[in-house]
Structure 1
Amino acid sequence: MILWTIQHKSAYEKMRKSGVLRANEAHLCDDSFTEAYLWMSGQMTKRIGNSPEGVIFPVWAWYKWEGERKRLDMRAHGRHWGTKGSPIVLLTVDVPENFVLLSDFDYWHVVLNNGDIIFPHCEEAIYSQEEKKKSWENIFDIDCSYDGEQHQYLTTQATLWEMRWEWVIKAENFISR
């Protein structure tokens, strides 16, 4: 399965030397997202198997960007992938399918913000935390069949426990803007 991931140059260099890239807990964007990241890790365990020893959080990649199976155009999307001026690397990787969990990138933000993905949605309803968490599993319906709409520009993210050097097809260097 061809995927694309953007990594800091230092992470890329570490992977090149060690042969593997694993998520570093110290680089999570925001502590308030820890619960959502742990939930995703639990889903990965349930759906693709246990993590390697010592691995808690996934590595993120892209399967589909804005409705198309293509690499990101870094001229349009080269922003916010690190501190302005920092070196980053766009990797094209070929990962065995059984190592990957695909999910809806936009609805992932509902999970990050502790919302619900319940259809049909009722604005007046108050859902329990258990109902909300169960609804989060809708992010794995990447065909969007649960809400009856076709999402023309659906972005599909991929999570995996680790990225291996032998999966790298191409590495492109950029500077974050």
Structure 2
Amino acid sequence: MNRENNGDEKIRIWTRQDKRVLKELEEKGIYRVKEEYIIEKMDTISDYYIRLYDWYVKKAEKIISRPEGVTYPIWVSLTSETMLQPTEDTVILELEVPKKYVIITDSEKWGYVINYWYVPLNTEDERLHNEELKKYGIGNESALYTTDKGNFYPLLKNKIIKSWDRLFDDSLPSSGMSQGTIWEIRKEWVVDVLNR
């Protein structure tokens, strides 16, 4: 997506972060996600997310280069209406970032990826895919990725994984709900901090 960004154009985005991020920004001038942060936040399901984030990073860094020392992306909302709301010990950072640093994707397509589902080209493609699953007696398509069931249906498993690349293809129909990622937060990008 957004490969042709104007280097001077800026975009306003929002991200919910642990309050400790403010201290890191103050001390270092930059914040980058580390694997241990994901493990701490996601607890018992961290392996699930790390596997997905590893896939995402490999694809996303082909769109916008990942700076040396960056491991994982930072998720951002593109409107104040869709931003995650503050929770205990978190803040909302309102950022103004050069658009060339923001990878924008469709939220619904990411929902398919995060559930290990096939990302369809359109409604007809989705219908045909569901018919194929039914033909093979597969009621839970995520089992093709998360269990050894994928060993019995390798073509279906590979079809699902390959379809995830559509997350980054803005020529396909969109749900109208977008989200973004950036590789880092720079102190100078912070416009406001909500819920101090």
TM-score, with length taken from structure 1 = 0.76
* Whole-Å separation in 2 of the counterparts to 1:156 and 1:4: 13
Gaps of 5+ in 2: 1-10, 134-154
Paired residue secondary structure (2:63): helix
* Whole-Å separation in 2 of the counterparts to 1:161 and 1:130: 28
Q: Which residue among 31, 35, 55 is the counterpart of 1:25?
A: 35
Letter in 2 for 1:128: L
* Whole-Å separation in 2 of the counterparts to 1:155 and 1:12: 28
Alignment of 1:126-145 (within 5 A): 126=133, 128-141=156-169
**Any conservation in 2 of the 1:105–1:157 contact (CA below 8 Å)?**
yes
* Whole-Å separation in 2 of the counterparts to 1:23 and 1:165: 15
Name the structure where helix makes up a greater proportion of residues. Answer: 2
Q: CA separation of 1:73/1:52 partners in 2, compared to 1, >3 Å: closer, same or farther?
A: closer
Following superposition, the deviation at residue 33 of structure 1 comes to 2.0
CA RMSD, aligned part only?
A: 2.2
TM-score, with length taken from structure 2 = 0.69
Gaps of 5+ in 1: 64-69
Identity %: 29
Following superposition, the deviation at residue 128 of structure 1 comes to 2.7
Matched, 1:146 2:160: no
* Whole-Å separation in 2 of the counterparts to 1:128 and 1:34: 23
Q: Which residue among 124, 127, 141 is the counterpart of 2:131?
A: 124
**Any conservation in 2 of the 1:104–1:141 contact (CA below 8 Å)?**
no
Paired residue secondary structure (1:136): helix
Letter in 2 for 1:125: E
Paired residue secondary structure (2:71): coil
* Whole-Å separation in 2 of the counterparts to 1:155 and 1:20: 28
Q: Which residue among 90, 93, 110 is the counterpart of 2:92?
A: 90
Alignment of 1:3-18 (within 5 A): 3-18=13-28
From the CA coordinates, give the structure whose radius of gyration is larger.
2
Following superposition, the deviation at residue 73 of structure 1 comes to 7.4
Indicate the residue corresponding to 1:48 in structure 2: 64
How many positions carry a matched residue from both structures?
154
Q: CA separation of 1:73/1:133 partners in 2, compared to 1, >3 Å: closer, same or farther?
A: closer
